[in-house]
């Protein structure tokens, strides 16, 4: 099973692709899709949609996974996150790719062993679980963690 993990954001969306064969995980690819706040929001969302579509076409995942939505204290930040998620999920939907959502706690527990892990612990475990993988940045690391969590949870989620 090839899993596409997604960490949507209007500023920088992370993506990561892993291959799961039983208990064995293999890193396939990862990256980040950045956009400039100087661009119009519609152009940023169109570029995000196109970039995620390109990743899907290139790596042909069997399934996608993303972290469940959380609410920020700042309503504007929540709205921007929702816009980015919409573009990312629309790209998956257009490709007929199912998207499963997992809470941040479930992702951390699946990757590190505890739902209260911090970002540094998650990134350290990525090095153990995906040896030799060059991670493009923090957002790509988060996306890889989501992909790994989904691979561990199995096709029923």
Active-site residues: which are they? 7, 67, 139
The annotation status of 139 as a binding-site residue, yes or no, is: yes
The Cα 79–Cα 59 span in angstroms is 29
Query: For 32, which DSSP code?
Result: E
The Cα 59–Cα 42 span in angstroms is 26
The Cα 42–Cα 1 span in angstroms is 33
The annotation status of 67 as a binding-site residue, yes or no, is: yes
Phi–psi pair at 16, nearest 5 degrees: -150, 140
The annotation status of 43 as a binding-site residue, yes or no, is: no
Which residue intervals of the chain are DSSP H helices? 41-59, 75-94, 104-112, 119-129, 138-153
Q: Which two tokens stand for residue 32?
A: 């980040």
Question: Between the CA atoms of 76, 78, 84 and 88, what dihedral angle is there, to the nearest 10 degrees?
Answer: -170
Which residue ranges make up the annotated binding site for Mg(2+)? 7, 67, 139
Which residue ranges make up the annotated binding site? 7, 67, 139
């Amino acid at each position: 099973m090839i899993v596409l993990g997604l960490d949507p954001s209007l500023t920088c969306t992370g993506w990561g692709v892993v291959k799961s064969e039983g208990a064995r995980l293999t890193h396939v690819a990862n990256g980040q899709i950045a956009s400039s706040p100087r661009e119009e929001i519609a152009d940023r969302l169109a570029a995000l949609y196109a970039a995620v579509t390109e990743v899907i076409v290139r790596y042909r995942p069997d399934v996608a996974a993303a972290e469940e939505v959380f609410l920020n204290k700042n309503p504007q930040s929540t709205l921007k996150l929702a816009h980015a998620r919409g573009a990312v999920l629309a790209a998956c939907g257009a490709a007929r790719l199912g998207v499963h959502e997992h809470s941040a706690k479930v992702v951390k527990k699946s990757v590190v062993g505890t739902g209260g892990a911090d970002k540094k612990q998650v990134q350290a475990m990525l090095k153990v679980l995906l040896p030799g993988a060059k991670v493009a940045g923090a957002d790509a690391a988060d996306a890889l963690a989501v992909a790994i969590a989904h691979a561990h949870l199995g096709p029923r989620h």
